[in-house]
Amino acid sequence: MKVILDANQIKVVLGELTAAIAADVPAGMDIAIIGIRSRGEIIARRLSKSLSESLGKAVPFGTLDITLYRDDLNDPHGQDQPIVQGTIIPFDVNEKIVILVDDVLYTGRSTRAAMDALIDLGRPKAVRLAVLIDRGRSGRELPIQADYAAHKVDIPPSQLVEVNLVETDEKDQVIVE
């Protein structure tokens, strides 16, 4: 087990992520932050708060459940029934720049599912992807890349990235096993 980001480093890279997103927001344009359940939701909540402070206006936050949009939902080798937790987006996504947030970008399949789910809710002006960890292209299966990556690291497919966040795991850290 190797810690690649500790609590202080996560705080720093999320601050840098906030600055990068804020710098790209065109004047007068509405943005919204939508996190992919479950850890993307936590990171999105943090980004929404810091962007609201940085931009001096409320940046709406929502949560997207991609369970029913996953391409492995009917996997004959899967043993668990999926648990749908629900999507909570208390605002109109139409004509907004939506920052879609996930914890780790690996194959691109979760992002694809999230875009499908999001488009069912309306037509955003643009969709941008922000991730805490971009694992690099070695495991990518779809032509998807992050617009904003807090930390990029090439990790072989044989290794697992685990994101721990204080809200669910009692500590902030990212480890590779």
Q: Tell me the CATH number at 131.
A: 3.40.50.2020
Model confidence at 41, pLDDT cuts 50, 70, 90, reads: very high
3-state secondary structure of 61: strand
* pLDDT surpasses 80 at 56: yes
d(Cα 63, Cα 9) in Å, to the nearest integer? 25
* pLDDT surpasses 80 at 51: yes
User: Residue 103: inside a domain, yes or no?
Assistant: yes
Global confidence as pTM = 0.91
Q: Which of 56, 6, 7 is nearest to 27 (CA)?
A: 56
User: Residue 84: inside a domain, yes or no?
Assistant: no
DSSP single-letter state for residue 158: T
Residue 132: predicted pLDDT? 97
* pLDDT surpasses 80 at 70: no
Residue 105: predicted pLDDT? 97
User: Residue 79: inside a domain, yes or no?
Assistant: no
Tell me the sheet residues that pair with 36: 64
Helix (H) or strand (E) run with residue 176 in it: strand 173-176
Please name the residue that has the structure tokens 């609590």: 7
Pairing of strands 31-36, 61-64: parallel
User: Residue 83: inside a domain, yes or no?
Assistant: no
Q: Would you call the peptide bond into 38 cis, given omega within 30 degrees of 0 as the criterion? A: yes
pLDDT digits 0-9 by tens, 81-102: 667 778 999 999 999 999 999 9
User: Residue 82: inside a domain, yes or no?
Assistant: no
The count of structural domains within the chain is: 1
* pLDDT surpasses 90 at 131: yes
Joined tokens for residue 33? 């932050």
Range of the structural domain that residue 7 is part of = 2-74+91-176
User: Residue 81: inside a domain, yes or no?
Assistant: no
User: Residue 80: inside a domain, yes or no?
Assistant: no
User: Residue 85: inside a domain, yes or no?
Assistant: no
d(Cα 153, Cα 135) in Å, to the nearest integer? 5
Q: Which residue has the higher pLDDT, 67 or 34?
A: 34
